[in-house]
Amino acid sequence: MSMTVISQAPVEPPAVTVRRQTPSGRIAMTLAVLGLIALAAMPWWASTGTIRSVLVLCCYIAVAQMWNLLAGYAGLVSVGQQAFMGAAGYALFVFAQTLGINPFVAVFLSLLVPAILAVPLYFLLHRLDGPYFSIGTWVVAEVFRLVASNLPLVNSGAGMSLRVMSQYSAFERNVAMSFLCALMLLVTLGGSYWLLRSRFGLALIAMRDNPVAAASQGVNVAKLRFLIYVAAAVGCGLAGAVYFMAQLRINPPSAFDPMWANVAIFIVMIGGIGSIEGVLIGSLIFFIADRWFGEYGATYFVVLGLMTLLVALYARTGIWGMISKRWDAPWFPIRRTLVDPDR
């Protein structure tokens, strides 16, 4: 047996270009930009009632996308994101009403609270495995609710009102609400899209598909999970601050309402987990269903619950999963496609 030495000729890298955008993506991006502009310009074309409805829809989208980042990419299935919504909402009321800070500055200041709380909470909760993590997040939300119910700083169980808003005219408030809606979607959806297109996005998608394999390829899974958890806390905090600013009132049961977990899970599972398109589809379906069938109360929630159950059993990729299997036309393309210009 003789050893043969295979000489390695230097290989020229093939002259290819990386294509990241698709025609469908360009159309969707144009529509998204137009949509954001229309959203920010709402006071000039929509009634106060419409603005309030759209604001609720934007909060659904933001919270659902944060849940999607957590559950769909980081494998962190939280059912307690309302903890951060309520914490930021309360922070806004304390900053603006109690401390007299300008409410539109206080909205942004209040985001510090979920960010600061999320750090120690993650170090507690990440010790819980899979499904136990979920109920752990729920316990935390319950602790927040009970603490708020007993804390004189936030007027205990009676709740607080944002009376300082009355110094602004209805038009001024509408301008602020519309601007905040546009900003919220830009940060949560735009931010997620930017994240998924960056090199973190590659790591996130690898982690979504298989955390062990991703770790073996050099992805720092633990660090990425931590960052996503804090980012999602801030995103949910923004939604909470904007939502309760529009509500003008906050009390412990509304601030830490588990309904938000139901909404986020329903939207993401029906729309399609692990995609931004799914969140948009799911939010629209939920928003319309809520308008049409909300009056049926309990029966409506029985149907929502059963639909969530059926999706988990038979159609885990949701509506967007079924659409994208048939038509390859992503609205927010994140794939890198190699194109050989010689062919």
Chain residues that interact with other proteins, rule: CB under 8 A:
71, 75, 77, 79, 124-125, 127-128, 130-132, 134-136, 138-140, 142-143, 146-147, 149-150, 258, 262, 265, 269, 273, 297-299, 301-302, 304-313, 316
Tokens of 260: 């938000």
Judged by beta carbon, residue 87 or residue 140, the one nearer other proteins is 140
Q: How far is the CB of 131 from other proteins (least distance, A)?
A: 4
Nearest Cα to Cα of residue 268 among 63, 94, 131, 39 = 63
**Shortest distance (Å) from residue 282 CB to other proteins:** 13
Minimum distance from CB of 149 to other proteins (Å)? 7
Residue positions counted in the chain: 343
Q: State which residue, 197 or 208, has the beta carbon closest to other proteins.
A: 208
Cβ proximity of 278 and 271 under 8 Å: yes
Closer CB to other proteins, residue 168 or residue 301?
Answer: 301
| Dist. CA 203–CA 332, nearest whole Å | 18
The amino acid at 106? A
- Kindly state the smallest distance separating residue 195's Cβ from other proteins, in Å: 21
Kind and range of the H or E element at 179?
helix 170-185
Using CA atoms, how far apart are residues 193 and 82, in angstroms rounded to an integer? Answer: 23
Q: Which of 169, 183, 205, 187 is nearest to 334 (CA)?
A: 205
Quote the tokens at residue 150.
């007993």
**CA 289, CA 60: separation in Å to the nearest integer?**
13
Strand boundaries in the chain, DSSP class E: 17-19, 160-161, 249-250, 337-339
What is the residue-wise DSSP string for 200-266? HHHHHHHHHH-HHHHHHTT--HHHHHHHHHHHHHHHHHHHHHHHHHHH-EE-HHHHT-THHHHHHHH
The gap from C-alpha 294 to its chain's centroid, in whole angstroms, comes to 23
Q: Which is nearer to other proteins, 154 or 273 (CB)?
A: 273
Q: What is the nearest approach in angstroms of other proteins to the Cβ of residue 132?
A: 6
- Pair 65, 234: CB distance under 8 Å: no
Comparison of 170 and 313: residue with beta carbon closer to other proteins: 313
In whole angstroms, give the CA distance from residue 143 to residue 145: 5
Residue with smaller CB distance to other proteins, 298 or 338: 298
CB closer to other proteins out of 102 and 299: 299
Q: How far is the CB of 319 from other proteins (least distance, A)?
A: 15
Query: Which residue is it, tokens 């991703």?
Result: 214
Supply the minimum distance, in Å, between the C-beta of residue 72 and other proteins: 9
**Min dist. Cβ of residue 301 to other proteins (A):** 4
Residue closer to other proteins, measured from CB, 274 or 333: 274
